[in-house]
Amino acid sequence: MLETLQQLLWSGDLIYATLRLTTPLLFAALGGLMCERAGVLNIGLEGMMLGGALTAYVVALRMGNPWLGILAALFVGAITGLLFAVVVVTFRANQIVSAVGMNILMLGLTGVALRAAVGLSIGQSPAPTIPIWEIPGLAGLPLIGPVLFAHLPFVYLVFVLAGAMAFIFYRTTWGLAIRAVGENPRAAETVGIDVIRVRYATVVWSGIFAAVGGAILSIGYLNTFQEGLTAGRGFIAFSAIIFGRYTPLGTLLASLLFGFTDALQLRIQAFGVQIPYQFLVVLPYIVTLLALFVAGRSKGPAASGLPYAPGEE
């Protein structure tokens, strides 16, 4: 028993899978973090991920090039972000319910588009995938080389981006503007910050980030797309932001925890431990709930979720 547990936990495979599974989550979470710091709650991350996943798959399949798939996903992510921004920033519609509507819409749209693009053979044709990029010199290291330095390029990129985001948030005027808009938009406006523009920009970026996260799932890992492929990862990403207390580092650590849980449940399944798979599959959700419970109240930006009209007293 103890030996099994040891085999289960002390393995490079588990760390490898953790990094792998954290990456799409963290992409979406970083995007969500950006717009949440600017005061826009984005529960639509799930739908945005789904849109990116489908776009990347269809374009990669049709064009025979995974990088074109990523490019197309970036574009579609920006469009979805823009549309969401129009609804919640310009029209000031309720952010939570609009995002729920957005998720339903994206579930439907991706289903229709998949059928239109690939026909009835849903998800059967494998798309060309992003190749693994072994970091020269480092990948050859014993033990840690294959675990840490033989991943998709996006795995390295997302950790760099998390660091970059911390830098942007706390060391640049742009980051200051984002945080000011999220905490007190009125005050931000009086010092000359264009609140609407900052919110638009961050929501569009969140769409792009989430779409990349989705694209990694479809043409990075699975080589295919099926309806509802993201299976709640966008919501887990949203929770990672709360659990990470609205900071880039916290969000990174929270995403790692959830990525680890996912890796662990897959590994337990592969080990053939006598636990029904249905309970293993929901392990990430349960851990997320427990994490939120343990974390207690996590205070978001003061103006989070509130619409803003410029030029008002």
| Contact between 238 and another protein per CB under 8 A | yes
Q: Rounded to an integer, what distance in angstroms lies between the CA atom of residue 109 and that of residue 111?
A: 5
Give the nearest distance from C-beta 195 to another protein in angstroms: 12
Q: Which amino acid is at 166?
A: A
Give the nearest distance from C-beta 106 to another protein in angstroms: 7
Give the nearest distance from C-beta 289 to another protein in angstroms: 6
Nearer to another protein, 132 or 302 (CB): 302
| Contact between 270 and another protein per CB under 8 A | no
- Which helix H or strand E contains 227, and what residues bound it? none
Q: Rounded to an integer, what distance in angstroms lies between the CA atom of residue 59 and that of residue 126?
A: 12
Site for another protein in 8-47 (CB under 8 A): 43
First to last CA, the chain: 66
| Contact between 146 and another protein per CB under 8 A | no
| Contact between 281 and another protein per CB under 8 A | yes
| Contact between 246 and another protein per CB under 8 A | no
Give the nearest distance from C-beta 46 to another protein in angstroms: 9
Give the nearest distance from C-beta 280 to another protein in angstroms: 9
Given candidates 5, 9, 112, 141, which one binds another protein under the rule CB under 8 A? 112
Would you tell me how many other CB atoms lie within 10 Å of the CB of residue 147?
Answer: 19
Would you tell me how many other CB atoms lie within 10 Å of the CB of residue 25?
Answer: 30
Given candidates 71, 75, 94, 166, which one binds another protein under the rule CB under 8 A? 94
| Contact between 91 and another protein per CB under 8 A | yes
Q: Rounded to an integer, what distance in angstroms lies between the CA atom of residue 275 and that of residue 259?
A: 20
SS (H, E, C) 245-288: CCCHHHHHHHHHHHHHHHHHHHHHHHHCCCCCHHHHHCHHHHHH
Given candidates 8, 15, 82, 96, which one binds another protein under the rule CB under 8 A? 96
| Contact between 232 and another protein per CB under 8 A | yes
Nearer to another protein, 112 or 164 (CB): 112
Q: Rounded to an integer, what distance in angstroms lies between the CA atom of residue 68 and that of residue 288?
A: 34
Size of the site for another protein (CB under 8 A): 54
Three-class SS state of 3: helix
Residue partners of 177: CB distance under 8 A and separation at least 6: 188, 193, 198
Query: Which residue's structure tokens are 């309720």?
Result: 94
Give the nearest distance from C-beta 269 to another protein in angstroms: 13
Given candidates 116, 143, 160, 191, which one binds another protein under the rule CB under 8 A? 116
| Contact between 75 and another protein per CB under 8 A | no
DSSP letter for each residue of 71-125: HHHHHHHHHHHHHHHIIIIIS---HHHHHHHHHHHHHHHHHHHHHHHHTTSTTTS
SS3 content of the chain, % helix, strand, coil (to 5): 70, 0, 25
Give the nearest distance from C-beta 76 to another protein in angstroms: 14
Looking at 100-108, 150-158, 187-195, 254-262, which segment touches another protein (CB under 8 A)? 100-108
Which residues sit at the interface with another protein, rule CB under 8 A? 43, 87, 91-98, 100-109, 111-113, 115-116, 227, 231-232, 235, 238-239, 242, 276, 278-279, 281-282, 285-286, 288-289, 292-293, 296-297, 302, 305-307, 309-313
